[in-house]
Structure 1
Amino acid sequence: MITRLIDGVDEIVGRIVSIVAIIFAGIIIYEVFMRYVVGAPTRWAFDVTKQLYGFYFILLGGYALRHQAHVKVDIVTHRLRHNARRWTEIIGYFIFFFPFAWVFMTRSYEFAMTSFNQGEVTYGAVQLPVYPLKMAVFVGAVLLLVQGVSEVLKLLLKKADHLEPMEPLDVR
């Protein structure tokens, strides 16, 4: 089924991108060692870690949505019955999520292509190309939009495990 394919792609991307966090941490540890122990800070570590964090953050949007890690307005839906909550989420996707994701995807594509065509680089001690990160923003937007399609299909097909009855909020 299409939802399994989309979920699988986002799962694979999420697992691969999670390795970036290890690389990111390694570079930071290396930079701290070089700066405070050796007394010779690097010229490249700050720019590289900024870009790696950007890759990490933006490419995990679809993975986070797949695992229900995005912010939801549960305070509105927590008292609704299962079916009403399901339809509220479906409507919410169409009113809020899909328009945002579409604009995010189309604008990030334009943003990435402008950067690529200009050969944009960072300014500072080391000039790294910026367009790969901006292209990752576009890829992340596509993954997020497609994962949204998967989530809506699961809701429509009543396969949403994340909509199990919730405990009532204790508002004492």
Structure 2
Amino acid sequence: MNQYVNRKFSNQYKATIGADFLTKEVQFEDRQFTLQIWDTAGQERFQSLGVAFYRGADCCVLVYDVNVMKSFDNLNNWREEFLIQASPSDPENFPFVVLGNKIDVDSGNSRVVSEKKAKAWCASKGNIPYFETSAKEGFNVEAAFQCIAKNALKNEPEEEISVPQMGLLGTFSLG
């Protein structure tokens, strides 16, 4: 989130408690929008604090750490929890985007979730768009957020777009 909005990365890690958000002005189809990007707590002990921020969302970003299998295994739970709490009018077609983050760690040698496995999961959930990112290096962050904004704007003609990010956000460096 910080890499996308401010073009900055910090190694100073602080767990999100509840939610944090940043805004960014985006241009899409000759219209200006304010994208609200919400980082909700990914750690289970803070999970219930984030649910109020799910309602009214226009796209949900599920994030996992490619080096931590448990974070990948939690994607389905996060997706289901979001759909329950957000209660979108058309849950079958609600837009999600999945980010496999931290591809830069240990030059990829500590990776435990393959791109193939992640893409298969996304395909099984209705062809959810998938991006592999490095918030630290800024790799693929812009492309991922362009897709996120595009998917959010498809379902929301209003000028403010809300995009919560869910997943193992304690280790997700976009937020």
Please tell me the TM-score bracket, short chain as reference: under 0.3
Tell me which protein shows more strand as a share of its residues.
2
TM-score (norm 2): 0.27
Larger radius of gyration: 1
TM-score (norm 1): 0.27
